[in-house]
Amino acid sequence: MKIFKFGGASVKDAESIKNVAVVLKTEHFSNCLIVVSAMGKTTNALEKVVQYYFEKKNYETEVENIKENHLKITGELFSKNHPVLAEIAVFFDDINSFLRRNKSPNYSFVYDQVVGCGEMISSKILSEYLNDIHFKNSWIDARDFIKTDSQYREGTVNWEETEKNIELLNKSECFVTQGFIGSDDNNFTVTLGREGSDYSAAIFAYCLNADHLTIWKDVPGVMTGDPRKFENVSLLSEISYEEAIEMAYYGASVIHPKTLQPLKQKNIPFFVKSFIDPKNAGTKVGVSEKNEFVESYILKENQLLMSVSTRDFSFIAEEHLSLIFSLLAKFKIKISLMQNSAISLAMCLEDKFNNIDLLKEEVDHLFNTELTKNVSLFTIRNADLKNIEKFYTGKKVLLEQISKQTVQMVTC
Protein backbone atom coordinates (compact mmCIF):
# COMPACT_ATOMS: atom_id res chain seq x y z
CA MET A 1 0.00 0.00 0.00
CA LYS A 2 1.17 3.53 -0.81
CA ILE A 3 0.83 6.49 1.54
CA PHE A 4 0.60 10.03 0.15
CA LYS A 5 0.58 13.20 2.22
CA PHE A 6 -0.58 16.53 0.81
CA GLY A 7 0.16 19.68 2.80
CA GLY A 8 -1.82 22.89 3.06
CA ALA A 9 -0.20 24.53 0.04
CA SER A 10 -1.20 21.60 -2.18
CA VAL A 11 -4.92 21.95 -1.31
CA LYS A 12 -5.16 25.72 -0.81
CA ASP A 13 -7.84 26.34 -3.48
CA ALA A 14 -9.96 24.63 -6.13
CA GLU A 15 -7.20 24.53 -8.76
CA SER A 16 -4.82 22.99 -6.23
CA ILE A 17 -7.30 20.24 -5.39
CA LYS A 18 -7.69 19.49 -9.09
CA ASN A 19 -3.90 19.29 -9.29
CA VAL A 20 -3.87 16.66 -6.51
CA ALA A 21 -5.88 14.46 -8.88
CA VAL A 22 -3.27 15.05 -11.59
CA VAL A 23 -0.52 14.02 -9.17
CA LEU A 24 -2.41 10.90 -8.14
CA LYS A 25 -2.91 9.95 -11.77
CA THR A 26 0.87 10.05 -12.34
CA GLU A 27 1.23 7.76 -9.30
CA HIS A 28 -1.41 5.27 -10.58
CA PHE A 29 -4.26 5.85 -8.14
CA SER A 30 -4.83 2.50 -6.42
CA ASN A 31 -4.19 0.81 -3.08
CA CYS A 32 -3.35 4.05 -1.34
CA LEU A 33 -4.09 6.13 1.71
CA ILE A 34 -4.02 9.92 1.38
CA VAL A 35 -3.31 12.13 4.37
CA VAL A 36 -4.42 15.77 4.02
CA SER A 37 -3.54 18.94 5.89
CA ALA A 38 -5.88 21.89 6.39
CA MET A 39 -6.26 24.16 3.35
CA GLY A 40 -3.72 26.96 2.92
CA LYS A 41 -3.60 29.17 6.02
CA THR A 42 -6.68 27.63 7.65
CA THR A 43 -4.78 26.44 10.72
CA ASN A 44 -3.54 29.98 11.37
CA ALA A 45 -7.07 31.32 10.93
CA LEU A 46 -8.54 28.77 13.36
CA GLU A 47 -5.80 29.60 15.87
CA LYS A 48 -7.04 33.18 15.68
CA VAL A 49 -10.56 31.95 16.45
CA VAL A 50 -9.30 30.29 19.64
CA GLN A 51 -7.35 33.40 20.58
CA TYR A 52 -10.42 35.59 20.10
CA TYR A 53 -12.55 33.16 22.09
CA PHE A 54 -10.29 33.44 25.14
CA GLU A 55 -9.95 37.20 24.72
CA LYS A 56 -13.75 37.40 24.59
CA LYS A 57 -13.67 39.01 21.16
CA ASN A 58 -16.00 38.33 18.23
CA TYR A 59 -14.76 34.90 17.19
CA GLU A 60 -18.00 34.12 15.29
CA THR A 61 -17.06 36.55 12.50
CA GLU A 62 -13.69 34.81 12.10
CA VAL A 63 -15.43 31.42 11.86
CA GLU A 64 -17.80 32.83 9.24
CA ASN A 65 -14.90 34.16 7.16
CA ILE A 66 -13.20 30.76 7.16
CA LYS A 67 -16.50 29.09 6.29
CA GLU A 68 -17.13 31.44 3.34
CA ASN A 69 -13.65 30.76 1.98
CA HIS A 70 -14.23 27.01 2.07
CA LEU A 71 -17.69 27.28 0.55
CA LYS A 72 -16.23 29.38 -2.27
CA ILE A 73 -13.75 26.59 -3.00
CA THR A 74 -16.43 23.89 -2.88
CA GLY A 75 -18.62 26.03 -5.11
CA GLU A 76 -15.88 25.92 -7.76
CA LEU A 77 -15.55 22.14 -7.48
CA PHE A 78 -19.11 20.90 -7.13
CA SER A 79 -22.63 21.59 -8.34
CA LYS A 80 -24.85 23.84 -6.20
CA ASN A 81 -26.87 20.89 -4.91
CA HIS A 82 -23.92 18.67 -4.04
CA PRO A 83 -24.35 17.21 -0.51
CA VAL A 84 -20.77 18.07 0.47
CA LEU A 85 -21.70 21.77 0.76
CA ALA A 86 -24.15 21.00 3.57
CA GLU A 87 -21.59 18.72 5.25
CA ILE A 88 -18.98 21.51 5.24
CA ALA A 89 -21.48 23.94 6.75
CA VAL A 90 -22.13 21.45 9.58
CA PHE A 91 -18.44 21.38 10.50
CA PHE A 92 -18.50 25.13 11.04
CA ASP A 93 -21.77 24.93 12.96
CA ASP A 94 -20.05 22.40 15.23
CA ILE A 95 -17.18 24.82 15.92
CA ASN A 96 -19.59 27.55 17.02
CA SER A 97 -21.67 25.10 19.00
CA PHE A 98 -18.63 23.74 20.84
CA LEU A 99 -17.37 27.21 21.74
CA ARG A 100 -20.82 28.27 23.00
CA ARG A 101 -21.12 25.18 25.22
CA ASN A 102 -17.51 24.87 26.36
CA LYS A 103 -16.78 25.32 30.07
CA SER A 104 -13.13 24.27 30.04
CA PRO A 105 -10.53 26.99 30.74
CA ASN A 106 -7.83 24.76 29.27
CA TYR A 107 -6.49 26.66 26.24
CA SER A 108 -4.78 23.60 24.74
CA PHE A 109 -7.94 21.49 25.02
CA VAL A 110 -10.06 24.14 23.29
CA TYR A 111 -7.32 24.66 20.70
CA ASP A 112 -7.37 21.01 19.66
CA GLN A 113 -11.18 20.77 19.39
CA VAL A 114 -11.29 23.85 17.14
CA VAL A 115 -8.07 23.82 15.13
CA GLY A 116 -8.32 20.10 14.32
CA CYS A 117 -11.47 20.85 12.28
CA GLY A 118 -9.34 22.27 9.46
CA GLU A 119 -8.15 18.82 8.44
CA MET A 120 -11.63 17.33 8.75
CA ILE A 121 -12.99 19.85 6.25
CA SER A 122 -10.16 19.72 3.70
CA SER A 123 -10.08 15.91 3.65
CA LYS A 124 -13.86 15.74 3.15
CA ILE A 125 -13.66 18.13 0.19
CA LEU A 126 -10.78 16.23 -1.41
CA SER A 127 -12.42 12.85 -0.88
CA GLU A 128 -15.70 13.96 -2.45
CA TYR A 129 -13.93 15.58 -5.40
CA LEU A 130 -11.90 12.44 -6.11
CA ASN A 131 -15.05 10.31 -5.98
CA ASP A 132 -16.77 12.71 -8.39
CA ILE A 133 -14.00 12.21 -10.96
CA HIS A 134 -14.15 8.43 -10.45
CA PHE A 135 -11.10 8.07 -8.18
CA LYS A 136 -13.00 5.81 -5.81
CA ASN A 137 -12.09 6.25 -2.14
CA SER A 138 -13.50 6.13 1.37
CA TRP A 139 -13.23 9.09 3.75
CA ILE A 140 -12.15 7.97 7.23
CA ASP A 141 -11.81 9.87 10.49
CA ALA A 142 -8.18 9.66 11.70
CA ARG A 143 -9.40 10.06 15.28
CA ASP A 144 -10.96 6.59 15.07
CA PHE A 145 -7.55 5.12 14.31
CA ILE A 146 -4.76 7.20 15.89
CA LYS A 147 -5.16 7.03 19.67
CA THR A 148 -3.17 9.23 22.02
CA ASP A 149 -2.87 10.38 25.59
CA SER A 150 -4.54 13.63 26.71
CA GLN A 151 -1.52 15.86 26.20
CA TYR A 152 -3.38 18.40 24.11
CA ARG A 153 -1.47 20.15 21.31
CA GLU A 154 1.32 17.56 21.40
CA GLY A 155 -0.24 14.15 21.93
CA THR A 156 1.81 11.01 22.48
CA VAL A 157 0.67 8.11 20.33
CA ASN A 158 -0.57 4.90 21.91
CA TRP A 159 1.14 2.69 19.36
CA GLU A 160 -0.38 -0.62 20.45
CA GLU A 161 -3.98 0.59 20.17
CA THR A 162 -3.27 2.66 17.05
CA GLU A 163 -1.66 -0.25 15.22
CA LYS A 164 -4.56 -2.54 16.15
CA ASN A 165 -7.04 0.00 14.71
CA ILE A 166 -5.18 0.76 11.48
CA GLU A 167 -4.50 -2.89 10.69
CA LEU A 168 -8.26 -3.32 10.14
CA LEU A 169 -8.15 -1.18 6.98
CA ASN A 170 -8.49 -3.07 3.70
CA LYS A 171 -5.19 -2.59 1.87
CA SER A 172 -6.81 -3.17 -1.52
CA GLU A 173 -8.93 -0.01 -1.18
CA CYS A 174 -8.15 3.72 -1.23
CA PHE A 175 -8.76 6.07 1.68
CA VAL A 176 -8.61 9.80 2.39
CA THR A 177 -7.98 10.91 5.96
CA GLN A 178 -6.61 13.76 8.06
CA GLY A 179 -3.15 14.63 9.25
CA PHE A 180 -2.32 16.30 12.56
CA ILE A 181 -5.09 14.74 14.67
CA GLY A 182 -5.87 11.73 16.84
CA SER A 183 -8.09 11.23 19.88
CA ASP A 184 -7.74 10.35 23.55
CA ASP A 185 -9.62 7.76 25.65
CA ASN A 186 -12.60 10.11 25.89
CA ASN A 187 -12.62 10.58 22.09
CA PHE A 188 -11.68 14.24 22.35
CA THR A 189 -9.48 15.51 19.52
CA VAL A 190 -5.77 15.64 20.32
CA THR A 191 -3.37 17.27 17.86
CA LEU A 192 0.10 15.82 17.30
CA GLY A 193 2.05 19.09 17.31
CA ARG A 194 2.23 21.92 14.78
CA GLU A 195 3.07 20.63 11.28
CA GLY A 196 2.21 17.12 12.54
CA SER A 197 0.52 15.87 9.34
CA ASP A 198 3.78 14.34 8.11
CA TYR A 199 3.92 12.39 11.36
CA SER A 200 0.34 11.18 10.83
CA ALA A 201 1.34 9.85 7.41
CA ALA A 202 4.30 8.03 8.95
CA ILE A 203 2.04 6.46 11.59
CA PHE A 204 -0.28 5.08 8.90
CA ALA A 205 2.71 3.92 6.83
CA TYR A 206 4.20 2.08 9.80
CA CYS A 207 0.96 0.37 10.82
CA LEU A 208 0.07 -0.64 7.25
CA ASN A 209 3.62 -1.82 6.38
CA ALA A 210 3.43 0.55 3.43
CA ASP A 211 5.50 0.13 0.27
CA HIS A 212 6.54 3.78 0.60
CA LEU A 213 5.49 7.18 1.85
CA THR A 214 5.53 10.25 -0.38
CA ILE A 215 5.13 13.75 0.97
CA TRP A 216 4.16 16.33 -1.66
CA LYS A 217 5.62 19.82 -1.20
CA ASP A 218 5.95 23.05 -3.16
CA VAL A 219 9.72 22.48 -3.40
CA PRO A 220 11.57 19.92 -5.58
CA GLY A 221 12.53 17.82 -2.55
CA VAL A 222 14.95 18.12 0.36
CA MET A 223 17.28 20.98 -0.51
CA THR A 224 20.63 22.01 0.92
CA GLY A 225 18.77 25.00 2.37
CA ASP A 226 15.39 26.68 2.32
CA PRO A 227 15.37 28.49 -1.06
CA ARG A 228 13.33 31.30 0.54
CA LYS A 229 16.20 32.01 2.95
CA PHE A 230 19.39 30.87 1.20
CA GLU A 231 20.84 31.38 -2.27
CA ASN A 232 22.43 28.77 -4.53
CA VAL A 233 20.85 25.76 -2.84
CA SER A 234 20.58 22.41 -4.60
CA LEU A 235 18.52 19.23 -4.42
CA LEU A 236 19.65 16.28 -2.32
CA SER A 237 18.57 13.32 -4.46
CA GLU A 238 19.23 10.60 -1.86
CA ILE A 239 20.01 10.73 1.85
CA SER A 240 19.98 8.23 4.71
CA TYR A 241 17.42 8.11 7.51
CA GLU A 242 20.16 9.20 9.91
CA GLU A 243 21.07 12.31 7.92
CA ALA A 244 17.40 13.23 7.48
CA ILE A 245 16.78 12.81 11.24
CA GLU A 246 19.74 15.08 12.00
CA MET A 247 18.46 17.71 9.57
CA ALA A 248 14.96 17.54 11.04
CA TYR A 249 16.34 17.81 14.58
CA TYR A 250 18.28 20.95 13.69
CA GLY A 251 15.13 22.49 12.21
CA ALA A 252 14.90 21.64 8.48
CA SER A 253 11.27 22.66 7.85
CA VAL A 254 10.73 20.28 4.94
CA ILE A 255 10.83 17.25 7.30
CA HIS A 256 8.84 16.92 10.52
CA PRO A 257 11.16 15.67 13.31
CA LYS A 258 8.92 12.77 14.41
CA THR A 259 8.22 11.48 10.91
CA LEU A 260 11.35 9.46 10.35
CA GLN A 261 11.59 7.17 13.40
CA PRO A 262 8.61 4.90 12.57
CA LEU A 263 9.69 4.71 8.92
CA LYS A 264 13.26 3.75 9.84
CA GLN A 265 12.04 0.99 12.15
CA LYS A 266 10.52 -0.84 9.18
CA ASN A 267 12.86 0.53 6.47
CA ILE A 268 9.93 2.13 4.63
CA PRO A 269 11.28 4.38 1.84
CA PHE A 270 10.30 8.02 2.18
CA PHE A 271 10.09 10.41 -0.77
CA VAL A 272 9.79 14.19 -0.76
CA LYS A 273 8.48 15.36 -4.13
CA SER A 274 7.01 18.43 -5.79
CA PHE A 275 3.28 18.57 -6.50
CA ILE A 276 4.15 21.22 -9.11
CA ASP A 277 6.40 18.80 -11.05
CA PRO A 278 5.21 15.35 -9.92
CA LYS A 279 7.24 13.45 -12.52
CA ASN A 280 10.53 14.70 -11.09
CA ALA A 281 12.34 12.23 -8.84
CA GLY A 282 12.55 14.44 -5.75
CA THR A 283 14.49 13.18 -2.73
CA LYS A 284 14.59 9.61 -1.49
CA VAL A 285 15.21 9.03 2.21
CA GLY A 286 16.01 5.50 3.28
CA VAL A 287 18.72 2.90 3.69
CA SER A 288 21.33 4.41 1.43
CA GLU A 289 24.92 3.92 0.43
CA LYS A 290 24.67 7.07 -1.69
CA ASN A 291 24.13 9.43 1.24
CA GLU A 292 25.07 12.91 0.07
CA PHE A 293 27.22 14.66 2.65
CA VAL A 294 26.76 18.05 1.05
CA GLU A 295 27.09 21.32 2.93
CA SER A 296 23.55 22.21 4.05
CA TYR A 297 22.08 25.23 5.83
CA ILE A 298 19.25 25.35 8.36
CA LEU A 299 17.84 28.48 9.98
CA LYS A 300 15.62 28.10 13.03
CA GLU A 301 13.97 31.41 13.85
CA ASN A 302 11.95 32.71 16.82
CA GLN A 303 14.29 31.12 19.36
CA LEU A 304 15.24 32.24 22.88
CA LEU A 305 18.66 32.38 24.49
CA MET A 306 18.68 31.83 28.25
CA SER A 307 21.84 31.97 30.35
CA VAL A 308 21.69 30.51 33.85
CA SER A 309 24.45 30.91 36.46
CA THR A 310 24.84 30.09 40.13
CA ARG A 311 24.67 32.96 42.59
CA ASP A 312 27.49 31.72 44.82
CA PHE A 313 29.87 30.95 41.92
CA SER A 314 29.62 27.22 42.63
CA PHE A 315 29.86 24.79 39.73
CA ILE A 316 26.80 23.98 37.64
CA ALA A 317 26.41 20.44 38.94
CA GLU A 318 24.15 17.50 38.19
CA GLU A 319 21.49 18.55 40.71
CA HIS A 320 21.32 22.00 39.07
CA LEU A 321 20.93 20.50 35.62
CA SER A 322 18.28 18.07 36.86
CA LEU A 323 16.23 20.91 38.31
CA ILE A 324 16.52 23.08 35.21
CA PHE A 325 15.59 20.20 32.89
CA SER A 326 12.57 19.32 35.03
CA LEU A 327 11.33 22.91 34.72
CA LEU A 328 11.85 22.86 30.96
CA ALA A 329 9.76 19.67 30.79
CA LYS A 330 7.10 21.20 33.05
CA PHE A 331 6.64 24.16 30.71
CA LYS A 332 7.09 22.14 27.48
CA ILE A 333 10.08 24.18 26.36
CA LYS A 334 12.59 22.37 24.14
CA ILE A 335 16.35 22.80 23.97
CA SER A 336 17.72 23.47 20.48
CA LEU A 337 21.33 23.99 21.63
CA MET A 338 23.05 23.79 25.01
CA GLN A 339 26.50 24.76 26.25
CA ASN A 340 27.81 24.85 29.80
CA SER A 341 30.89 26.19 31.56
CA ALA A 342 31.94 25.77 35.18
CA ILE A 343 29.39 28.19 36.63
CA SER A 344 26.91 28.86 33.84
CA LEU A 345 24.59 27.14 31.39
CA ALA A 346 23.52 28.68 28.07
CA MET A 347 20.52 27.29 26.24
CA CYS A 348 18.91 28.12 22.92
CA LEU A 349 15.24 27.31 23.48
CA GLU A 350 12.06 26.77 21.47
CA ASP A 351 8.88 27.84 23.25
CA LYS A 352 5.83 26.65 21.27
CA PHE A 353 3.41 27.32 24.11
CA ASN A 354 4.63 30.79 25.16
CA ASN A 355 5.68 29.67 28.63
CA ILE A 356 9.11 31.31 28.77
CA ASP A 357 8.11 33.99 31.29
CA LEU A 358 6.71 31.34 33.65
CA LEU A 359 9.94 29.35 33.31
CA LYS A 360 12.11 32.38 33.97
CA GLU A 361 10.07 33.30 37.03
CA GLU A 362 10.77 29.90 38.62
CA VAL A 363 14.42 29.75 37.59
CA ASP A 364 14.97 33.28 38.97
CA HIS A 365 14.22 32.01 42.46
CA LEU A 366 17.40 29.93 42.45
CA PHE A 367 19.77 31.28 39.80
CA ASN A 368 20.89 34.41 38.04
CA THR A 369 19.35 34.44 34.57
CA GLU A 370 19.59 36.43 31.36
CA LEU A 371 17.04 36.08 28.59
CA THR A 372 17.33 37.25 24.99
CA LYS A 373 14.24 36.85 22.82
CA ASN A 374 13.85 36.64 19.03
CA VAL A 375 17.20 35.05 18.25
CA SER A 376 17.94 32.59 15.44
CA LEU A 377 19.83 29.31 15.40
CA PHE A 378 21.91 28.90 12.24
CA THR A 379 23.19 25.37 11.58
CA ILE A 380 25.62 24.26 8.87
CA ARG A 381 25.71 20.50 8.30
CA ASN A 382 28.75 18.92 6.63
CA ALA A 383 30.50 22.29 6.86
CA ASP A 384 33.72 22.99 4.99
CA LEU A 385 35.72 24.01 8.05
CA LYS A 386 38.53 25.40 5.90
CA ASN A 387 36.24 28.25 4.89
CA ILE A 388 34.47 28.66 8.20
CA GLU A 389 34.98 32.44 8.30
CA LYS A 390 32.34 33.00 5.61
CA PHE A 391 29.59 31.84 7.97
CA TYR A 392 30.30 34.65 10.45
CA THR A 393 30.17 37.52 7.98
CA GLY A 394 27.57 40.12 8.92
CA LYS A 395 26.31 38.20 11.96
CA LYS A 396 26.28 39.09 15.65
CA VAL A 397 27.04 35.74 17.26
CA LEU A 398 25.82 35.24 20.83
CA LEU A 399 26.74 31.56 21.14
CA GLU A 400 28.56 29.09 18.92
CA GLN A 401 29.36 25.41 18.88
CA ILE A 402 31.29 23.18 16.47
CA SER A 403 30.96 19.38 16.55
CA LYS A 404 32.77 17.44 13.86
CA GLN A 405 31.46 19.05 10.66
CA THR A 406 28.40 20.69 12.18
CA VAL A 407 28.64 24.40 12.97
CA GLN A 408 25.92 26.09 15.02
CA MET A 409 25.59 29.69 16.03
CA VAL A 410 22.92 31.67 17.85
CA THR A 411 22.56 35.10 16.26
CA CYS A 412 20.44 38.21 16.71
54: Cα within 13 Å, side-chain hemisphere: 14
230 is in an annotated binding site: no
7 is in an annotated binding site: yes
Distance CA 22, CA 376 (A): 39
46 plus 170 within the same structural domain = yes
48 is in an annotated binding site: no
How far lies 194's CA from each of 33, 257, 364, in Å? 21, 11, 30
Judged by DSSP in three states, 249 sits in helix
- Does 132 fall in a domain? yes
Q: How many domains does the chain have?
A: 2
As beta bridge partners, residue 349 has 304, 335
- Does 212 fall in a domain? yes
- Does 366 fall in a domain? yes
- Under 8 Å CB-to-CB from 159, ≥6 apart: which residues? none
310 is in an annotated binding site: no
316 plus 208 within the same structural domain = no
8 is in an annotated binding site: yes
Determine the structural domain holding residue 183 and report its residue range.
Answer: 2-217
5 is in an annotated binding site: yes
- Does 273 fall in a domain? no
Q: DSSP state, 326?
A: H
43 is in an annotated binding site: yes
The per-residue pLDDT for 245 is: 87
Pairing of strands 32-36, 397-403: unpaired
Q: Which of 173, 192, 217 is the last residue of a domain?
A: 217
Secondary structure percentages of the chain, helix, strand, coil, to 5 = 40, 25, 35
How far lies 100's CA from each of 12, 53, 59, 110, 212, in Å? 29, 10, 11, 12, 43
Q: Which of 193, 217, 241 is the last residue of a domain?
A: 217
- Does 255 fall in a domain? no
Q: pLDDT 10s per residue in the chain (412 long)? A: 999 999 999 999 999 999 999 999 999 888 999 999 999 999 999 999 999 999 999 999 999 999 999 999 999 999 999 999 999 999 999 999 999 999 999 999 999 999 999 999 999 999 999 999 999 999 999 999 999 999 999 999 999 999 999 999 999 999 999 999 999 999 999 999 887 899 999 999 999 999 999 999 999 999 999 988 998 899 999 999 888 888 888 888 788 878 999 999 999 999 999 999 999 999 999 886 666 678 999 999 999 999 999 998 889 989 999 999 999 999 999 999 999 998 999 999 999 999 999 999 999 999 999 999 999 999 999 998 888 888 888 899 999 999 888 999 999 9
> pTM above the 0.85 mark?
yes
- Does 313 fall in a domain? yes
pLDDT in tens, 26-79: 998 889 999 999 999 999 999 999 999 999 999 999 999 999 999 999 999 999
**Which burial class, exposed, middle or buried, applies to 48 when counting CB atoms under 10 A from its CB (0-12, 13-18, 19+)?**
middle
Residue 319's CATH number: 3.30.2130.10
